[in-house]
């Protein structure tokens, strides 16, 4: 039995996840909470089914590597540049001010300087995985506070790299200037070496692998990238987690980013779950009974303190109280990187005793409270909105951080449908509308809807049309739509324009004026109606879809021929394909 003990432990861990996590999901609780509870139950402080040891450490290490790689993959340079004011400005202020205040409090509580530094920065970070998951599920990442929260989380993620390099220095008995310089040189050398590998080795390697057309080989190369760069930074005296993070950043701007993300995603989800399970295994839940009052006091102090610090920092950057307060409360919890940083600090001898466990419990309870915090932030934001001045926010000020977004002209039924679809895919958008009731309703729902005439070039410029990925025109007045297409195509000729058209004739005019594609709503509605009929009488879905694609191909060529025949002769004329069939029958 002993020779298979690692396999047994692995089966117990997987069984715990399979049994516990779906239960929490059914109860509409965070899966992360399920992983944590499963780990606490099977770990050394629970039923002791998996004792503390090498197996737990390996699983936790892999979880951290894939977590950091995926986060690095979400940090392309263009994204950071577009949101630089809030990423490097507001994000840096939040991390530094929060860390300093927690550091001062920790010193007053009797901790030494090294331990206070680790706890300060560890608790200054928020839970990227939990917050983004909740906001994504609620469709709120495209809202103003969601974009601000994302920017601050990006800065927190960037801060992890230097923090991982700093902690081993704090474990030295006498950290001197020579050690600092040596570690800095090692870090820069490792960063430069990994950057060179990314440019001259990994990208050409991926190009060769892609040419082979073997998906499993591409996946293997992606895994090799994560583990290989982690090994290189570890060999340079830095942490493996730092290497995985750097590898993600290097691939973020490559043409293979999305495929790498798709291949790594299943492993990331698995190992991230195992990471939270291993955290649960090392957390001693029994301390809640021994130090419950202390832990709850620290939790409340952390949540209130971080929310206030973030809100005041956001106000200094010109954000309204309704946005600043909601972002502050949303990011008030501790994050998963606290487990990484404090765990590393324990291994380096910086922290010891019950301090680690108490901090872990505070972070765990904060992560558990995240859905409640987001709901509370919404209520507080609405309260501030009632107190704020009623005039509409400045469009240009609120779109400064946007890049590669979509501008929607018209926020009626069609515009809202397009906006919902974009929000589901986490694509930022700005909607312009002249109906004050629609604008008020959109603002009440915290949607990026603004009062403005989309036909005015100054309004379009304020909406960031020059930085936009595309423009969507959903106006039901076809003359106004034609004017808007003309303005957009003349001022921004490289911008893809997609328009709603009344019919085929209107569609042709819009495309001649510069629209990349104009969708005739009557034709699309009739095609969808016909498809439903075909499905209801038993035609297979694939065959129906194939027929829809055939009818829509070449800008509805067959339908255009039919419509033109009606306009010419006053009666339907069969399309070209039908004419050929008739001619062949007559010849026979």
In a domain, 393, yes or no: no
* Residue 431, φ and ψ in degrees, nearest 5: -110, 135
Q: Who has greater pLDDT, 409 or 55?
A: 409
| Tokens at 279, concatenated | 């955290």
Q: Is the pLDDT of residue 576 over 80?
A: no
CA 71 – CA 252 distance, rounded (Å): 10
Residue 451: phi and psi, rounded to 5, are: -75, 125
329: its two tokens: 């409360």
What is the pLDDT, as a whole number, of residue 448?
86
Long-range contacts of 131-140 (CB under 8 A, 24+ apart): 131/330, 131/331, 131/333, 131/370, 131/374, 133/30, 133/32, 134/30, 134/370, 134/371, 134/374, 135/330, 135/374, 136/426, 138/374, 139/420, 139/423, 139/424, 140/446
Last residue of a domain, one of 500, 517, 539: 539
Edge-to-edge strand list for the sheet holding 470-473: 449-451, 429-433, 406-409, 470-473, 497-501, 517-520
State residue 500 phi and psi, 5-degree precision: -85, 130
- Please give the Cα distance from 447 to 420 (Å, whole number): 10
75: confidence class by pLDDT, cuts 50, 70, 90: low
Range with the poorest average pLDDT among 51-65, 170-184, 458-472? 170-184
Write out the DSSP string of 401-443: T--S-EEEE--SHHHHHHHHHHHHTT--EEEEES-HHHHHHHH
Nearest alpha carbon to residue 91 among 358, 270, 314 = 314
Average pLDDT over residues 445-471: 86
Q: Which of 106-120, 201-215, 350-364, 452-466 has the highest mean pLDDT?
A: 106-120
β-pairing, 470-473 vs 497-501, is: parallel
Residues 13 and 129 in one domain: yes
What total of structural domains would you count in the chain? Answer: 3
> Residue 247: pLDDT above 90?
no
At 15-74, the pLDDT tens digits run 888 888 888 888 877 788 888 888 888 888 888 888 766 666 676 677 777 777 877 777
Does the global pTM surpass 0.85?
Answer: no
d(CA 179, CA 380): 48
Q: Do 229 and 370 fall into the same domain? A: yes
pLDDT at 187: 63
Closest CA to 478 of 525, 526, 513: 513
**CATH number of the domain enclosing 92:** 1.20.1530.20
Among 79-88, 190-199, 356-365, the range scoring the smallest mean pLDDT is 190-199
Neighbours of 345 (CB within 10 A): 26
Strands (E), 411-469: 429-433, 449-451
Which pLDDT value is given to residue 329?
Answer: 96
Domain end: 387, 416, 439, which one? 387
- The pLDDT assigned to 169 comes to 75
Residues 337, 248 share a domain: yes
Q: Which domain holds residue 340?
A: 2-387
- Length of the chain in residues, anyone? 588
Looking at the DSSP assignment, which residues form a beta bridge with residue 429? 406
The residues near 43 (Cβ < 8 Å, ≥ 6 apart) are 49, 50, 52, 56, 280, 281, 282, 283
Whole-number pLDDT of residue 331: 95
Q: Is the domain of 110 the same as that of 240?
A: yes
From 211-220, 301-310, 375-384, the region with the lowest mean pLDDT: 211-220
Are residues 562 and 473 both part of a single domain? no
297 touches 364 (CB < 8 A): no
Tell me the three state secondary structure of residue 238. Answer: coil
pLDDT at 585: 41
Q: How far apart are CA 248 and CA 68, in angstroms?
A: 8
What is the residue-averaged pLDDT of the chain? 80
pLDDT of res. 108? 92
On whether residue 394 sits in a domain, the answer given is: no
CA distance 98 to 335: 14
- Banded pLDDT at 556 (limits 50, 70, 90): low
Give yes or no: residues 375 and 488 share one domain.
no
Name the residue with tokens 């895919």. 425
Of 387, 421, 449, the last residue of a domain is: 387
Task: Clarify whether residues 557 and 529 are in a common domain.
Answer: no
């Amino acid at each position: 039995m002993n020779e298979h003990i690692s396999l047994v432990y692995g089966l117990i861990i997987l069984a715990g996840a399979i049994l516990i996590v779906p239960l929490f999901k059914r109860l509409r609780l965070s899966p992360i909470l399920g992983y944590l509870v499963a780990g606490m139950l099977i770990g050394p402080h629970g039923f002791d089914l998996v004792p503390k040891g090498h197996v737990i450490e390996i699983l936790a290490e892999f979880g951290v590597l894939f977590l950091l790689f995926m986060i690095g993959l979400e940090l392309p340079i263009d994204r950071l540049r577009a949101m630089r004011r809030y990423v490097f400005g507001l994000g840096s202020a939040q991390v530094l001010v929060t860390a300093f205040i927690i550091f001062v409090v920790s010193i007053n509580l009797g901790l030494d300087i090294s331990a206070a530094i680790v706890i300060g920065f560890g608790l200054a970070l928020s839970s990227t995985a939990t917050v983004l998951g909740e906001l994504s599920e609620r469709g709120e990442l495209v809202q103003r506070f969601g974009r601000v929260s994302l920017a601050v989380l990006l800065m927190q993620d960037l801060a992890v790299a230097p923090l991982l390099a700093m902690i081993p220095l704090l474990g030295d008995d006498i950290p001197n200037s020579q050690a600092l310089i040596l570690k800095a040189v090692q870090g820069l050398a490792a960063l430069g070496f990994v950057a060179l590998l990314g440019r001259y080795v990994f990208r050409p390697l991926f190009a060769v692998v892609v040419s082979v057309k073997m998906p499993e080989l591409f996946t293997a190369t992606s895994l090799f990238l994560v583990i290989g760069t982690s090994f290189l930074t570890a060999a340079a005296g830095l942490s493996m987690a730092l290497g995985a993070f750097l590898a993600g950043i290097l691939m973020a701007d490559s043409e293979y980013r999305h495929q790498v993300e798709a291949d790594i995603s299943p492993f990331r989800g698995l190992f991230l779950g195992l990471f939270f399970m291993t955290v649960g295994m090392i957390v001693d839940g029994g301390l809640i009974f021994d130090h419950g009052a202390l832990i709850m006091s620290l939790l409340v102090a952390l949540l209130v303190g971080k929310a206030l610090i973030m809100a005041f920092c956001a106000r200094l950057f010109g954000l309204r109280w309704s946005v600043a307060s909601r972002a502050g409360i949303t990011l008030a919890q501790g994050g998963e990187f606290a487990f990484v940083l404090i765990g590393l600090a324990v291994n380096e001898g910086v922290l010891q005793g019950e301090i680690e466990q108490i901090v872990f419990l505070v972070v765990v309870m904060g992560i558990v409270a995240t859905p409640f915090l987001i709901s509370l932030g919404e209520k507080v934001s609405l309260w501030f909105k009632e107190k704020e001045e009623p005039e509409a926010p400045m469009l240009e000020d609120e779109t400064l951080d946007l890049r590669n977004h979509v501008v929607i002209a018209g926020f009626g039924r069609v515009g809202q449908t397009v906006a919902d679809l974009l929000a589901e895919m986490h694509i930022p958008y700005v909607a312009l509308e002249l109906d004050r009731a629609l604008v008020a309703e959109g603002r009440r729902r915290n949607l990026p809807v603004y009062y403005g005439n989309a036909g005015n070039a100054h309004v379009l410029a304020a909406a960031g049309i020059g930085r936009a990925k595309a423009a969507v025109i959903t106006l039901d007045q076809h003359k106004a739509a034609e004017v808007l297409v003309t303005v957009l195509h003349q001022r921004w000729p490289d911008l893809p324009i997609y328009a709603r058209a009344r019919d085929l004739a209107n569609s042709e005019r819009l495309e001649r004026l510069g629209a990349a594609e104009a969708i005739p709503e009557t034709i699309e509605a009739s095609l969808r109606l016909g498809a439903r009929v075909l499905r209801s009488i038993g035609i297979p879905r694939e065959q129906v879809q194939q027929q829809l694609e055939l009818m829509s191909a070449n800008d509805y060529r067959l339908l255009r021929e039919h419509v033109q025949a009606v306009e010419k002769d006053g009666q339907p004329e069969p399309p070209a394909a039908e004419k050929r069939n008739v001619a062949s029958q007559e010849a026979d």
